[in-house]
Chain A
Amino acid sequence: MAENRKYLPLASTRRLEKLMTRYYFLTRYHRFWGKPLRRPLAWVTSGAPVELLRAFRIHPVYPENYGAICGTRRVSAQLCQVAEAAGYSQDLCSYARSHIGSILRPELAPMGGLPKPDLLVACNNICGTVLKWYEALARIFRVPLLVLDTPFLPGELTESAKSYVLEQLKHMADFLAHFTGRRLDRRELERHMALSKETVNLWKEIRGFCRAKPSPLNAPDLFIHMAPIVVLRGTPQAVHYYRLLRNEVNSRVQQGQGAVPGEKIRLVWDNIAIWYRIFGFFQMFSERGACFVTDTYSGGWVMELTEGDPLESLAATYTEIFLNRSPEFRARQMIELIKDYNADGFVMHSNRSCKPYSLVQEVIRRRVMQETGVPGLVVEADMADQRVFAEEPVRNRVQAFLETLSDI
């Protein structure tokens, strides 16, 4: 980690590091075990139906998680420049640019870049950028690209939208059977879905502990400890890890321990973390007694898998991802978080990279302020490209915002 935290550390972090190191170690040396075990490697988007891939024994690797690693290690700007020099626009998502940069110049990239994929799986429930990003990857590596098109939901999920996605999942399953030489084992799919469900429930429980005053976790904890639910969702390792974390967070609550000493202000975070300043940024808040007790970003992985037919359940779950939904839905979600977690205000990261997340924030901000009466701040930055972060203007806005929440 490039920065040190300045508040109560979690003992589970060591186990997390071990778990993630093991995952990236296995990924890095996939070439030695993938072929003999007939387990292809797929690069997938964060909102891809990974349970289906796991049922076919595919090893999923997440370029977005890798982008976050590049951001945390502060090598994104350099990798982005490599991609920009190759013609990719500076306005393109910094995960996409970091990842493409890591392919073009692996010697500059963490872990020497990700191992080459046998397959690409993109789902546009999180954004439209992934389609073009993965098309570029398909051209570079000349491997099959599977696209799952989830229609945007202006209201609730309709039957037609659900069956449209279900049809695609069936086609995807047929293709994967052909590609891997395995039949779709429904029991295996149900097993991975049950593991996903358990992971999601544990994550939900852990997040729920933060309703306590003081909150046992601060946003950077959530951002760091969400890694397994992204890359290991649907595995026993993820379940095992989150049980451990649940116990530690629960005991913090029992002992009345807060993540931020002398918690005075409770806030809600919106948008992806600022990875290259993951501790420094939040320190501007924690040093004034402000704790981010919950967020919309890591909460995005609290996606409950419904009962019933597994493919139908996947179709519904992955179409109903919050980024695929209306500003009204997102405003309502924010309002509920503020009430539920007894928050005094909220901070929205206007993330230059992530257009679907950021574009509607001003509309949401106004509605949430109107309905809850708590103030909201917008901070301009980027999740991975540190060139976008202007320290002084950000500090100035944060200070002014916290002054409005204190008595001066």
Chain B
Amino acid sequence: MLNKYYLGIDIGSLTTKVVLVDDTGAVAARAADRSGYSGRRVAERLVEEILKEKGLDKKDISATVATGYGRVTFPADREISEITCQARGIAHLFPAARTVIDIGGQDSKVIKLLPGGKVADFAMNDKCAAGTGRFLEVMAGALEVRVEDLDDLAAQSGESCPISSICTVFAESEVISHIAAGRQKADIVAGVCASVAARVASLASRTGLEPEVVFTGGVARNKGVVNALAEHLRCRLLVPEEPEVTAALGAALLAGNIKV
């Protein structure tokens, strides 16, 4: 008997993620790339690539669910919000999880889970990119370092510089004035991470935190933010191996109606 495959596509504001699962919910393939101008085209290319890699054909895919900001642009069988997808993906990976903190390109959100991956409550950032991946990118740009290098730098900090968590644009000028004042790069980076943590912690206070707490989204790769957030929330944070693809995984599981 031939295996059935399900596809989850997450077209985010910064990155597009694609996950293929089999009918047991095991990940068969995954891919990600910058969304750029057309997230849909990036998604289509990524799907072609993983199908080729697996030696599969389009008709081997039984169902597709699209999520993320570009979800309506992609011709999927269904489009589901990333909150529902994220919840399903995390419940699959961490059945004991009751809270998800997700920091993506332009959104940060806190989701409260019921057993089985249903959403009990959620809170999202307001119309402002402070405390998101985009915020870190802008700050890395001002400091002339790569985003990937931020966590190593944060680890070297002796005393972090205070950075306002109110506005990305104003925070960038703050970073520039810290540079002008001759502060250590590492200390500024630590301040940036603490600022993201503070912003997300206030969001978490709206829904409340219940362990286990899982941290997802591209920003969860940044150990500087993970540590700052764990310290701020005073709780242990679980980070998936590939924290940016969990919503796409949830979308694929929902496509196959694969229960936790």
Contact = CB atoms under 8 A, between A and B. Distances in A.
A408 B250 CA distance: 12
Interface in A363-379: 366, 369, 375, 378
Interface stretch (B80-88, B91-99, B152-160, B235-243): B80-88
A396 interface: yes
Contacts of A380: 126-127
B34 interface: no
Contacts of A375: 120-121
Contact of B84 (A362, A366, A390, A404): A404
A393 B127 contact: yes
A156 interface: no
B102 to A, nearest CB: 12
Interface residues of B, number: 18
Nearest to B111: A400
Contacts of B122: 400, 404
Contacts of A307: none
A21 interface: no
A393 B80 contact: no
Contacts of B120: 375, 404
B80 A408 contact: yes
Contacts of A366: 206
A13 interface: no
Contact of A397 (B69, B80, B124, B254): B124
B230 to A, nearest CB: 24
Interface residues of A, number: 16
A366 B83 CA distance: 19
Contacts of B254: 408
B223 interface: no
Contacts of A404: 84, 118-120, 122
Given A380-B127, A392-B69, A408-B254, A400 B121 contact: no
A214 B120 CA distance: 26
Interface in B118-153: 118-124, 126-127
A377 to B, nearest CB: 9
Contacts of B123: 378
A345 to B, nearest CB: 11
A403 interface: yes
A399 B121 contact: no
B121 A369 contact: yes
Contacts of A362: 206
B76 to A, nearest CB: 14
Interface in A385-408: 390, 392-393, 396-397, 399-400, 403-404, 408
Contacts of B69: 392, 396
Nearest to A398: B81
A403 B119 contact: yes
A403 B126 contact: no
A396 B81 contact: yes
Interface of B: 69, 80-84, 107, 118-124, 126-127, 206, 254
Given A366-B206, A390-B127, A400-B82, 4 more contacts: A362-B206, A392-B69, A400-B122, A404-B120
16 contacts: A362-B206, A380-B126, A393-B107, A393-B124, A396-B69, A396-B81, A396-B83, A399-B80, A399-B81, A400-B82, A400-B83, A403-B81, A403-B119, A404-B120, A408-B80, A408-B84
Interface of A: 362, 366, 369, 375, 378, 380, 390, 392-393, 396-397, 399-400, 403-404, 408
